[in-house]
A and B are shown apart, each in its own frame.
Chain A
Amino acid sequence: MRKATLAVSAALFVLAVAYWLAADAIPASRLAGQVGADGLPKLLGLALGVLSLLLAGQTLFEMRRAAAAGGGDDQDKGEDRLPGSWREHLRALGLIGIGVGYLLVLPHLGYMVSAGLLLAAVATYAGLKPSPATLLFAAGGGILFYLIFVKILQIPLPAGFWPGLLR
């Protein structure tokens, strides 16, 4: 976990620099007042830079202290491990993947069908054995969500290519 934290502090430092540079590019307007539109952003960029260095320093300090206290400290080792395995994190990202897939098909297949597909995909992904019940859940869920959001709440969610078929 400490190694990961170090990596994150480095990433945050890069973010801070990038943000500061973007803030520096904000056009100065005469109407912005004593503190310009770039005032707070630059301060924030600076603050994040300092804080990311502090985090790195704190983590390094803890690593050294842990090493000094003896590498055989089991409890400390356990605490230091990142919770979960890489397999698990990949599984977690898979959910986002399904979400991205949903967003990509939504404009084409329309809300009702996309919703059904997403429900089936996530339910299967979360451990449901594919069965007629899955199909029923997807179809019923797609229709239910369609009724709630499109028919009752009148939210103009994408209809997809279906209306084009009727022309």
Chain B
Amino acid sequence: MDGLTYALTAVTTPSTVLAAAGGVLWGILGGALPGLSPSIAMALLLPFTFDMSPLAAIIMLTGVYIGAEYGGSIPAILIRTPGTNAAAATVIDGYTLHQQGRGGEALGLSLVAGTIAGLVGLICLVLLTAPLSALALYFKPPAYFALAFLGLSIIAALSEGSLVKGLIMGVIGLMVSTVGTDPLSGVTRFTFDEPDLLGGIDYIFVMLGVFAVAELMSKVAEKDGGDGGITKTVARVKLPSLQKLWELRRAQAIGTAVGIIEGPIPGAGGTVAAFLSYNETKRWSKTPEKFGKGSEEGVVAPEAANNAVTSSALIPTLSFGIPGSNSMAILLGGLLIHGIQPGPMLLSSRPDLVYGLFGGLFMSNIFMLIFGLLVLGPAIWLVNRPKPYLTAGIFMVVLSGIYVINQSLFDFWIVLAAGIIGYGMRLLKFPVLPLILGIVLGYMVESNYRRSLLLTNGEHRVFFENPLSLGLLICAGLIIGMAILSEIRRFRRSGVEVHG
């Protein structure tokens, strides 16, 4: 029972409690600012942790991570701007709900769903660290490829209305992902000797363009300054009732489970988890037709997923010393500066730290709920300002946040160009999500496909011999098959209507 004692010490020591509170609050604010990804929010705070005790430092950093993954949903719902990559899936139904005057409900759902998922994820972290860390080891290149391919197959399901248009956007997304350094040989592709393109195009820029800038463009296009179709202003946050939560249990469970499973897999992360769980929830939903038109499940599932990831993503970092994402790399850096080497020996050499961290994670999730409620009031007040002020303010936030990432003016041009393209896509009814999925997953699909073939000397058999890969590919096949079937049905029906 030593573990419990360590955890209790952590939650009763003022310095660690303060570290968790400060970390979460900063994380929520940072996550809500577009451009400040969770990893950048953590990096900005990192130097402050140097003088703290190692436990307080790691609790503060994980607190930032948890807060930021939640904070990203606030602008996603209120201003159609995902504050973090993982909040992209929340935009669809979250912003639609807001336009319907139900933004307060959406914010409440996102907060509560995230908190529940974070706590469930924590329990899994405590109880299932061993099997979940084994999961990370099972993933070899063929399985990674299959996982990414499964993610891409969602394009077929998310291409509302037109499969061809969805596929086109998916292909363009993949094209964007090929810009930069080739994952195997190291030659540069499509960089046109522009050093800013060497590392590829960060997908947050494309997302800010096609979501936020395109939305602002539509707003100013309307003569009266535009109200973005929002009929009623939101008065305040509305937390879901227990009954409501019970109704949404399926979305909550799917989101949480997908998040916990994706978390430990290096490279997959919150964004993929959010999209996968959005799609799965839609498939198993009793009211799939509401998705995209203001579904509560469409907010709960991705938000549960990206907050569940915050717990389980810690597993490979702590048990192998191998970070699976940028955020985890910064956490690792924070530990190394304190002279702590995460790895298989960490639990036996520093149980105080590991169990203390578990206690800290518990606190952070509770603080997320409390600060979430405190922050939402001012956030709602802000979006209820007169439209000209709001439009100017959002544009300025976007144009400032971009600079944080690479500190390069070049990125601004990418965002503005993506804004024009996003605006055009809205006019011609090209779906946005396939584009995002293509960019997010392109690198993972390509590098792992080619790694697999390198390992087998060009034999494609390997994708069907690896059980994980086979299973994931079958799932992907089912998703694609169902999408094609429904497309054919839709096309026939529309033909019948016109002729009949």
* Residues in A lying within 8 Å of B, measured CB to CB: 1, 4-5, 8, 12, 19, 22-23, 26-27, 29, 31-41, 44, 47-48, 51-52, 54-55, 58, 65-66, 69, 76, 82-84, 88-89, 91-96, 98-100, 102-103, 106-107, 111, 115, 118-128, 137, 141, 145, 148-149, 153-157
B389 within 8 A of A: yes
Q: Which residues of B contact A155 (CB under 8 A)?
A: 400, 403-404, 407
Contact A65 B222 (CB under 8 A): no
Contact B416 A96 (CB under 8 A): yes
Q: A4-B427, A4-B428 are in contact. Are A40 and B446 (CB under 8 A)?
A: yes
Of residues 395 to 419 in B, which have CB atoms within 8 Å of A's CB atoms? Answer: 395-396, 399-400, 403-404, 407, 409, 412-413, 416, 419
Q: Considering the chains assembled together, what is the distance between the CA atoms of A150 and B186 in angstroms?
A: 36
Contact B189 A37 (CB under 8 A): yes
Of B386, B399, B416, B428, which one neighbours A118 at CB under 8 angstroms? B399
Q: Top 5 closest A-B pairs, CB basis?
A: A127-B225, A128-B388, A32-B185, A122-B392, A92-B217
Of A31, A120, A122, A127, which one neighbours B185 at CB under 8 angstroms? A31
Q: Which residues of A contact B39 (CB under 8 A)?
A: none
Contact B225 A29 (CB under 8 A): no
Q: A41-B189, A123-B388, A127-B225 are in contact. Are A34 and B44 (CB under 8 A)?
A: no
Q: Which residues of A contact B242 (CB under 8 A)?
A: none
Listed stretches B132-140, B161-169, B248-256, B466-474; interface member? B161-169
B333 within 8 A of A: no
Contact A156 B407 (CB under 8 A): yes
Residue of A22, A39, A41 with most partner-chain B CB within 10 A: A41
Contact B391 A55 (CB under 8 A): no
Q: Which residues of A contact B403 (CB under 8 A)?
A: 149, 155, 157
Q: Which residues of A contact B217 (CB under 8 A)?
A: 92-93, 95-96
6 A–B contacts, CB within 8 A, in A order: A26-B189, A31-B185, A54-B164, A58-B162, A82-B427, A99-B416
Contact B399 A65 (CB under 8 A): no
Listed stretches B268-276, B290-298, B304-312, B453-461; interface member? B453-461
Listed stretches B15-23, B52-60, B121-129, B172-180; interface member? B172-180
Output the least CB separation between A124 and chain B (Å): 7
Output the least CB separation between B152 and chain A (Å): 12
Interface residues of B, dominant DSSP: helix
Contact B498 A65 (CB under 8 A): yes
B224 within 8 A of A: yes
Q: Which residues of A contact B395 (CB under 8 A)?
A: 95, 98-99, 118, 122
Q: Considering the chains assembled together, what is the distance between the CA atoms of A126 and B498 in angstroms?
A: 41
Contact B187 A103 (CB under 8 A): no
Of B389, B396, B453, which one neighbours A33 at CB under 8 angstroms? B453
Contact A119 B216 (CB under 8 A): no
Q: Considering the chains assembled together, what is the distance between the CA atoms of A84 and B216 in angstroms?
A: 15
Q: Which residues of B contact A127 (CB under 8 A)?
A: 224-225, 387-388
Q: Which residues of B contact A98 (CB under 8 A)?
A: 395
Chain B: CB-nearest residue to A103: B412
Q: A95-B216, A155-B404 are in contact. Are A33 and B450 (CB under 8 A)?
A: yes
Of residues 147 to 204 in B, which have CB atoms within 8 Å of A's CB atoms? Answer: 162, 164-165, 167-168, 171-172, 174-175, 178, 182, 184-187, 189-190
Q: Which residues of A contact B339 (CB under 8 A)?
A: none
Q: A40-B446, A83-B427, A145-B396 are in contact. Are A51 and B225 (CB under 8 A)?
A: no
Besides the contacts A31-B186, A32-B187, what 6 more A-B pairs have beta carbons closer than 8 Å? A1-B429, A76-B498, A91-B221, A99-B419, A122-B220, A128-B389
Contact A26 B187 (CB under 8 A): yes
Chain B: CB-nearest residue to A121: B392
Chain B: CB-nearest residue to A102: B399
Chain B: CB-nearest residue to A106: B409
Q: Which residues of A contact B429 (CB under 8 A)?
A: 1
